[in-house]
Structure 1
Amino acid sequence: MDHVGRPAEPDKRILRRELLSARNRLTADVVREAATTLAGHALELPELARARTVAAYVSVEGEPGTLPLLDELHARGVRVLLPALLPDNDLDWGAYTGEGSLARVQHGGRMALFEPAGERLGPDAVTSADVVLLPGVAVDVRGMRLGRGGGSYDRVLARLEKAGAHPALVVLLYDSEVVERLPAEEHDRPVHAVVTPSGVRRFPHA
């Protein structure tokens, strides 16, 4: 899937639409079973197993499920930070202390998100994370990630770079979402690893 030589943005939009359409066809049972498997594989990553603070997110709809992983991290005493979407698409952060600490928030005409209901810690809180779990719809063999297109995590990555923070960057995906090549732009940064139901794939040049 080599899109070199074509304009990046149209390609990204087409790919994103196709991949999200495939996710929407998954049954609830498939999504639920994958979430449990993903949690087990993710915790095999040494960076995640020894992390004291993990910045993550709550999966919605057909996204690869994160709640089993969040619950296991919290049970192990890991500080788990979850994002809260701000009006300008930047992200604030709050602590996850179990499903009771989540609030369902509707942002205009977009899908509803599950966000931390407690104290807001500020956008810079993410710079304390040892691992950042990034949402995505695909990753290629170089570790380049295709996000959902809102730009929120581009800001997160820029904030980490500005702060001199170097957490492990990990994305959770389905097996079919690991592709040969994605269109990439100058500001795009590769992730360190992808976790799929089949296991973990690392990207040593990230």
Structure 2
Amino acid sequence: MAKVALRDQLLTARRRRALAEIGDAARKIAEHLLADADVRRAATVAAYVSVGSEPGTSVLLDRLREAGKRVLLPVLLPDNDLDWAAYEGAADLVSAGRGLLEPAGPSLGVEAVATADVVLVPGLAVSRTGLRMGRGGGSYDRALGRVPVGTTTCVLLYADEVLDHVPAEPHDRPVTAAATPDGILRF
């Protein structure tokens, strides 16, 4: 119940954010990530297309490609697991269920996330120990379970979504960092 209550509170706060704040956060997060040593060294970055009032990723995705990175994006499967496909640009994205945008290219399989040097994931909050709280479907916990130990895994959030504690369950996977408009925090 604690997770459900906190999730509702965080989603309500996100819906109240001004468009200007969302856009500003997207630009700042992209700048921080593009300057990060792990991202600069990465050949492949797994990321996602933001929706609604999530910190935006469109600028980041295009700048990663411009920097010569291979960018993988998730494709939601019927069982809520994540397949992956290469991002070839915004024109390559197609509408999918739940208001998501996904790449139109060929599927690379659920294990493709393991080939990424950096994995960027959505979330609603993270604890100061790296426990990430998502929307509750378990898709990213499954994907993070396939990522090799030592790979940078980073949740993109607003600064006030980094909390002292988030409720956790045994299946919840931690991340190694959080990118916010204020910078990158390592756990």
Give the aligned residue type for 1:129.
Answer: A
**What secondary structure sits across from 2:35 in the alignment?**
coil
Give the aligned residue type for 1:151.
Answer: G
Alignment equivalent of 2:67, drawn from 67, 76, 98:
76
1:4 match: none
Q: Which segments of 5 or more consecutive residues in structure 2 lack a partner in the other structure?
A: none
Alignment equivalent of 2:165, drawn from 181, 184, 190:
181
| 2:5 equivalent to 1:14 | yes
1:190 match: 174
Aligned residue pair count:
187
Give the aligned residue type for 1:95.
Answer: A
| 2:131 equivalent to 1:144 | yes
2:38 match: 47
Deviation at 1:104, TM superposition (A): 1.4
Deviation at 1:159, TM superposition (A): 2.4
**What secondary structure sits across from 1:29 in the alignment?**
helix
| 2:129 equivalent to 1:131 | no
Task: Tell me the distance in 2 between the aligned counterparts of 1:82 and 1:49.
Answer: 18
| 2:143 equivalent to 1:156 | yes
| 2:7 equivalent to 1:23 | no
Task: Tell me the distance in 2 between the aligned counterparts of 1:157 and 1:194.
Answer: 14
Bigger Rg, which one? 1
Give the aligned residue type for 2:21.
Answer: V
Which segment drifts farther, 177-186 or 51-60? 177-186
1:172 match: 156
Aligned-residue identity in percent: 54
Which segment drifts farther, 39-48 or 69-78? 39-48
Give the aligned residue type for 2:166.
Answer: L
Which ranges of 4 or more aligned residues in structure 1 deviate by more than 4 Å?
A: none
Give the aligned residue type for 2:152.
Answer: A
Task: Tell me the distance in 1 between the aligned counterparts of 2:94 and 2:32.
Answer: 27
Q: Is the 8 A contact 2:126 2:133 kept in 1?
A: yes
Q: Is the 8 A contact 1:132 1:169 kept in 2?
A: yes
Deviation at 1:63, TM superposition (A): 0.2
Q: Which segments of 5 or more consecutive residues in structure 1 lack a partner in the other structure?
A: 1-9
Task: Tell me the distance in 2 between the aligned counterparts of 1:168 and 1:46.
Answer: 11
Deviation at 1:69, TM superposition (A): 0.9
Deviation at 1:165, TM superposition (A): 5.3
TM, length-normalised to structure 2: 0.96
Alignment equivalent of 1:102, drawn from 93, 100, 107:
93
Give the aligned residue type for 1:177.
Answer: E
CA RMSD of aligned residues (A): 1.2
Task: Tell me the distance in 1 between the aligned counterparts of 2:106 and 2:149.
Answer: 23
Task: Tell me the distance in 1 between the aligned counterparts of 2:168 and 2:49.
Answer: 26
TM, length-normalised to structure 1: 0.87
